[in-house]
Amino acid sequence: MRIPSKSVRYFAAALLCATGLAGTAATQELQAACGPATVRFAVGDRPLLEYRYADVPFKPYVAQMHTPAGVPVLRDSPADHKHHHALMFAVAADGVDFWSEKETCGRQVHRELDGPRVSTTNGETVATLTEQLDWTAPDGRLILNEDRTLTLHRQPGLSATLLTWQSRLRPPPGKQTVALTGSHYFGLGMRFVASMDAVGTFVNSSGEAGELVRGDERLVPARWCAYQAPVGNKPVTAAIFDHPQNRRHPARMFTMKQHFAYLAATLNLWKEPLSLEAGDPLTLTYGVALWDGRVEEAEIEATYQRWARQ
């Protein structure tokens, strides 16, 4: 199903979902349902993920993501940082900040949605949606085009909720280059629920502490980085994976837990700006995995390797 961005079409999209003509698909247990502003994924009556593509102030994002047992891990737009939207992707482009959501910041404007689609191949069930976005400056100038694809995986033997986030960035027609920059935490980032603040532990594939930037904020080159902390009285593990084919792999993983807990995969743009050329799109592929309990690093690594081979 393709959903255009104009609000006059939202009612039509909602009607399609309500009548069953589009928007809900199920293969085995995995279900995907679309609405006029969100796409929700679930297994039976257990929610897995909610993606908000419309009716957002500045950028679409994953508003909710749950462990296989249904424990919610993400926090959306807390009072201390209203622009922290659970699981979100943003950098600066041509000097326009798409992260902070101030009046001088740009917007990721939803243009079209394709999906969700659910299918099974060789025992793996996946639910996929693709969104086209225009990154626009406050004055309306088109800075960047993005094709964003989210894929939720269900596999035999997989003990985590596993999401693949892929962003394909390119200059818009008529524009030859776009300069990507940003602060040390710009990238694909996760804000965690309040009970996970300050009390958790970060682990990563390199085993190194990384570079101390300020306070307890660190950057470490790693294939994956995970945060382990309790949600209420239930321990969970949340990880971000960086695909081996990503530019500047391994990612610089940003971590902090004082004041609030945050994890992000970054391109190190604060030290190394990146020039995006027409005809040479930048494709970034990340994984996000959530487990119930504090899982061993060997299991995180095995899940990463399995994901990276797909």
Write out pLDDT tens, residues 91-129.
Answer: 999 999 999 999 999 999 999 999 999 999 888 899 999
Q: What is the pLDDT of residue 29?
A: 82
pLDDT band at 2 (very low <50, low <70, confident <90, very high): low
b/e map 254-281, b = 16+ CB within 10 Å: bbbbeebbbbbbbbbbbeeebebeeeee
pLDDT one-digit tens code per residue, 222-260 = 999 999 999 999 999 999 999 999 999 999 999 999 999
Distance between CA 172 and CA 278 in Å, rounded? Answer: 8
For residue 157, give every residue at least 6 positions away whose Cβ sits within 8 Å of its Cβ, in sequence order, or none.
none
Least confident of 25-34, 74-83, 184-193, 245-254: 25-34
Residue spans per domain, the chain: 2-309
Q: What is the pLDDT of residue 123?
A: 85
Strand blocks (E) in 200-269: 201-204, 211-214, 217-222, 224-231, 234-242, 251-256, 262-266
Neighbours of 94 (CB within 10 A): 18
Sheet bearing 2-4, strands edge to edge = 2-4, 107-121, 124-136, 142-154, 161-170, 282-292, 234-242, 224-231, 201-204
Question: What average pLDDT does the segment 15-39 reach?
Answer: 61
Distance between CA 202 and CA 118 in Å, rounded? Answer: 33
* pLDDT value at 23 more than 60: no
Q: What is the pLDDT of residue 68?
A: 95
Neighbours of 81 (CB within 10 A): 15
Question: What average pLDDT does the segment 196-202 reach?
Answer: 97
Residue predicted with more confidence, 45 or 178: 178
* pLDDT value at 8 more than 60: no
* % of the chain beyond a pLDDT of 70: 91
Say if domain 2-309 classifies as CATH 1.10.10: no
**Nearest-5° Cα angle at 81, 75 to 85:** 40
Rg (CA), the chain: 19
